[in-house]
Amino acid sequence: MAERVTAQMVAERAGVSQSAVSRVFTPGASASPRTAEKVRKAAAELGYRPNILARAMVSGRSRIIGLVVAYLENLFYPEVLERLSSALQAQGYHILVFLTSQTEKDADEIVEEVLAYQVDGIVLASVSLSSDLASRCQAAGVPVLLFNRSQDISGLNAVTSDNVGGGRKVGEFLLAGGHDRIGYIAGWEGASTQRDREAGFRQALDAAGRELFCRDVGDFDSERSFAAARRMFSRPESERPDAVFVAGDHMALIVMDVLRFELGLSVPGDVSVVGYDDVPSASWLAYQLTTVRQPADLMVEKSVTALLKAIERPDSAIPKHEVVGAELILRSSARLPEGWKR
């Protein structure tokens, strides 16, 4: 077995102290350009790699953030993951990604595992956390941030788009378009994002004295979304919606495929379809999906700011739920109300 290269060996090769080697490989630490050049040259020649976990045991900081996500099937999350990773790397932090289901029990088990990696913070994307485990994270000094999800648990930061406002905009838009039979396909009903989007949507209908024509559940899942679309639209014309709000773009694109290619219906001639997220494929010529845009860049920026403040200045960090505005993006999958412009 090859001999393990140590920081002391690098220091001797570079002609510097071991503490100088440590500073060169510690993000944010001070080292002169000349020293850094000598140390990195010696490290490359010896094949040295710093032991991040060992350094964490000494310093109490790993500069690792645990990201727990329920599913990457929704194209909003791979996009966010890339942006979040880049933003944290720019601040000297790195991400460990853990996949789980949407249930609180499974998420708790994964978060317990994440804590064993001595992470400095945890981001939960589309995942809920029990109040008991949230308290344990707080007791361990590990701040938790909820991304695109909120919970009524004290001590947690959360960043979401304005899901209620976004849902309300969709309802007002479809009503202005003169639709008589408006349906809704829900996401996972345990998610605050799903509940808030539907609440805002129903507020708009209620304000106009209208009732939801029909409702089904796609669970933010491909197969369930196919099934929900087939149930909702495989009916005589008078019994099916002439417009549908779908709680996420991933599901909405599936609904469009079912309508056009399985049932032979025209979008938006027979049915207007509106989604939520504005994932990259929503703007493709094959879909041109009208949707509510979640501003991923701004949500990531606010998440990184809040999380790093909680890590680096815990005494001054007051956890809060930040809500980012959501814009209705008009494309050709839904009938345009008279006087509106894309």
Model confidence pLDDT, tens digit, residues 17-59: 888 887 887 766 777 888 888 888 888 888 887 766 566 555 5
| Rounded (5°) CA angle 298-302-305 | 140
User: Is 196 buried (19+), middle (13-18) or exposed (0-12) by CB count in 10 A?
Assistant: buried
Confidence (pLDDT) at 1: 43
How many Cα atoms sit within 13 Å of 128 on the Cβ side? 17
Tokens of 199: 């609440």
Confidence (pLDDT) at 232: 97
Confidence (pLDDT) at 54: 60
SS3 163: helix
Tell me which residue of 146, 96, 145 sits closest to 126, measured CA to CA.
146
Confidence (pLDDT) at 116: 80
Contact present, 119 and 65 (Cβ < 8 Å):
yes
Confidence (pLDDT) at 31: 79
Task: Give me the amino acid identity at 193.
Answer: T
Contacts of 86 (CB under 8 A, 6+ apart): none
Q: What is the model's pTM? A: 0.82
Confidence (pLDDT) at 103: 56
SS3 341: coil
Q: What is the mean pLDDT of each run of 10 residues along the chain (342 residues)?
A: 73 85 74 86 82 58 83 82 89 85 66 82 77 73 86 81 97 96 94 94 97 95 95 93 97 97 96 96 96 95 93 80 94 93 80
Confidence (pLDDT) at 59: 54
